[in-house]
Amino acid sequence: MRRTAFFVFALAITFCLGFAVKTVTIPEEKNDEHLKRVTGIGGVFFKCKNPKKMREWYRAHLGLQTNEYGAVFEWRQGADTAKKGFTQWAPFADESSYFDGEFMINYRVKNLDLLVEALRREGVAIVDDVQTYDYGKFVHILDVEGNKIELWEPNDVAFEELGNRMGAKTTK
């Protein structure tokens, strides 16, 4: 009985040490199985006849704090409620070439560069190169039906600072 208990204990210790070594030696993002992909909605973009009139209507009737780019929704991140997160809402002119269809969704992601590598290996169409700004990194991909999707690795602190410099208010 003691021998069996010792064997089970030794096996458990070996498993735990192996898991610890794997965790230390293989960064989480490098392992596709554990790669965080979409973490939330970063933005909703849609086309309309008159974006200015649309922003004014949403401000007057639904209370959105709009600016020349649309509106920004402010929220608290689930993993750390001390941190803010943001979602952009933006009407575009019908003739805009920023996206082809009637709408485009922007998804928040954790590590854009590693995700793009994984998506390339999976055969996903990457439309452009990763673009880097103070407030985050962006890239566009196509889904299975050819809809353009924007991926955003946000820098929420810089995004909030940019909004403050513009005098923009968020919708909470």
Please indicate, yes or no, if residue 171 is contained in any of the structural domains: no
**Do 124 and 55 have their domain in common?**
yes
DSSP 67: E
**Do 16 and 56 have their domain in common?**
no
Please indicate, yes or no, if residue 41 is contained in any of the structural domains: yes
**Do 15 and 88 have their domain in common?**
no
**Do 70 and 9 have their domain in common?**
no
**Do 134 and 155 have their domain in common?**
yes
Q: Report the domain count for the chain.
A: 2
**Do 108 and 84 have their domain in common?**
yes
Q: pLDDT tens digits for 5-60?
A: 444 444 445 444 454 444 444 454 455 667 889 999 999 999 999 999 999 999 99
Please indicate, yes or no, if residue 72 is contained in any of the structural domains: yes
Share of the chain above pLDDT 90, in %: 74
Q: What is the pLDDT of residue 78?
A: 85
**Do 75 and 126 have their domain in common?**
yes
Please indicate, yes or no, if residue 146 is contained in any of the structural domains: yes
**Do 83 and 58 have their domain in common?**
yes
**Containing domain of residue 27, as a range?**
1-31
**Do 80 and 162 have their domain in common?**
yes
For the chain, give the mean pLDDT: 86
pTM of the prediction? Answer: 0.77
**Do 118 and 98 have their domain in common?**
yes
Cβ atoms 116, 139 nearer than 8 A:
yes
**What tokens does 29 get?**
């993002």
Q: pLDDT tens digits for 12-23?
A: 454 444 544 444
List of long-range contacts for 154-158, beta carbons under 8 Å, 24+ apart? 154/42, 154/85, 154/86, 154/108, 156/83, 156/84, 156/85, 156/86, 158/134
**Do 27 and 87 have their domain in common?**
no
Across the range 89-110, mean pLDDT stands at: 96
